[in-house]
Amino acid sequence: MDVLPLLKSLGVPTGSVGKGVLRVVSPVDGSTLTSLPPASPDNVNRAVVRAQEAFLAWRMVPAPRRGELIRRFGDTLRAHKEPLARLVTLECGKILEEARGEVQEMIDICDFACGLSRQLYGLTMASERPGHRMAETWHPLGVVGVISAFNFPVAVWAWNFCLAVVCGNPVLWKPSDKTPLCALAAHALFLQAARQFEGAPADLSQVLIGGADTGKALAADARVALLSATGSTRMGRAVAPVVAARFGRSLLELGGNNAMVVTASADLDLAAQAILFSAAGTAGQRCTSLRRLLVHTSVAKKLLVRVGAAFGKVPVGNPLKSGTLVGPLIDGAAWDAMAAALARAGKAGGTVEHGGRVRVPGCSGGFYARPALVKMPAQHDVVHTETFAPILYAMTWRHFDDAIAMNNAVPQGLSSAIFTSDVREAETFLSATGSDCGIANVNIGTSGAEIGGAFGGEKETGGGREAGSDAWKNYMRRATNTVNHSRALPLAQGIRFTI
């Protein structure tokens, strides 16, 4: 596949494309798209220095002006939505329909961040001292580092980038080494918008291509005020202690092992639709993909027959072609992990339906798999482990308390859902005694979140929150201010200290 015309249409400088040791492979057919030079430690250091200089200038720009730059970035994305979506498909393998949705998510967060630029609110608090006023103010934080994963090669960066820039910070981006071209394209589109904006300093956005060593360098650098890292739990365990050792901030969005509870009163037509997209969409490679299906015994047989039939006929194929709903796994290692997990599940007493490799004409180097439905007798260790592939483990329950316990029994805590027509079950699931996940839905699936809500989860998911709600506070520092406008100096708590 010749990717150069597509890169040029997105404004990516191609001088270094094809001249490095980092090989970029398309999961569509296993072909090499190009190669790129990785960043050296000196490259990282110089990038941090430039980002610090950008911060000193950008923090002085009023927030609504910063929002105007992001608004223009959104317009640039709108004008280039189709070519950027095509590049996403080529490099990460998700179907074009989902790739278009990912670029739309970037546009949506631009709109959100632009409005947010006039709403970076602090609080005013009542002081116990006469003639005093207390308030909090929010200030730009500093250089923000972003480590992103292959499965959402542009949207998750945009969640962080748009909010960080509106909050007054420059961003250093270390994309997945599996999807660096998407990063270069998104960066180039931002630069197009920035060139038309008076007052934007150079180096508000920088991209650092590389592997784990580049991410470690950002984690260890005390000049990086916040490191937002999206990826596996293993990656989070490597990065978080390094940031913590230097008392930096980290924002972690890590693994998910998401469950859907289906009750006896559930609308099974609705549930079946949600299960198919949540489990099979993006070839099961979303952090919010449905991994566990917990079904009441009274409806289990009926529902599982429908799910198995849907998995058996869902179109698996070239993600660039219309009609395809499930594209390839990212690489051969992902297929090996899927095959190993299915073998473990079988040894643990599970019954495996489908899950075999699919041969796609013209895509012999790609790793395509039919989604697997695995009926498990219990939540074996393999069920507790996130496998980034289209595997759905199904288990049954009789008592609602047991369903909630099963939902919460895994180490991860990202997304969850319940399908029910009983308001008591729904509200219990959302309550303090219900799902322990950062996302808990009723009568919709576990994946496909909107940017208006804070995105993230608990336990081994990392505890971070990105995108909407008040996630912007991650990118700012808070100062509590007390102003004395009287002619006396009373002390708090009634303390007297005079001579």
The 10s digit of each residue's pLDDT in 421-456 is: 999 999 999 999 999 999 999 999 999 989 999 999
CA distances from 145 to 74, 153, 252 (A): 21, 15, 12
For residue 2, pLDDT beyond 90: no
Mean pLDDT estimate for the chain: 97
Q: Is the pLDDT of residue 157 over 90?
A: yes
Characterize the bridge pairing of strands 22-25 and 32-36.
antiparallel
* Ordered DSSP codes for 223-239: TEEEEEEES-HHHHHHH
pLDDT, one tens digit per residue, over 29-76 is 999 999 999 999 999 999 999 999 999 999 999 999 999 999 999 999
Predicted pLDDT of residue 331: 98
Per-residue pLDDT, 270:
98
CB-hemisphere CA count at 13 Å for 360? 24
- The DSSP symbol for 426 reads H
**What are the residues whose beta carbons fall under 8 Å from the beta carbon of 494, sequence distance 6 or more?**
none
Structure tokens at 104: 């739309």
Pinpoint the alpha helices (H) of 80-178. Answer: 81-92, 96-116, 155-166
Q: How many CB atoms lie within 10 A of CB 12?
A: 22
Q: What secondary structure letter does DSSP report for 457?
A: -
Coil vs helix vs strand at 184: helix
Residues annotated as part of the active site:
253, 287
Percent of the chain having pLDDT more than 90? 98
Mean pLDDT over residues 215-236, rounded? Answer: 97
User: Global pTM?
Assistant: 0.97
Predicted confidence at residue 15, as pLDDT, reads 87
Confidence of residue 18 (pLDDT cuts 50, 70, 90): confident
Per-residue pLDDT of 377-420, as tens digits, reads 999 999 999 999 999 999 999 999 999 999 999 999 999 999 99
Region 173-189 average pLDDT: 98
Give the pLDDT of residue 255.
94
Report H helices in 285-331.
297-313
pLDDT over threshold 80, residue 1: no
The Cα-based distances of 269 to 2, 57, 443 in angstroms read 43, 55, 11
13, pLDDT greater than 90: yes
Per-residue pLDDT, 16: 83
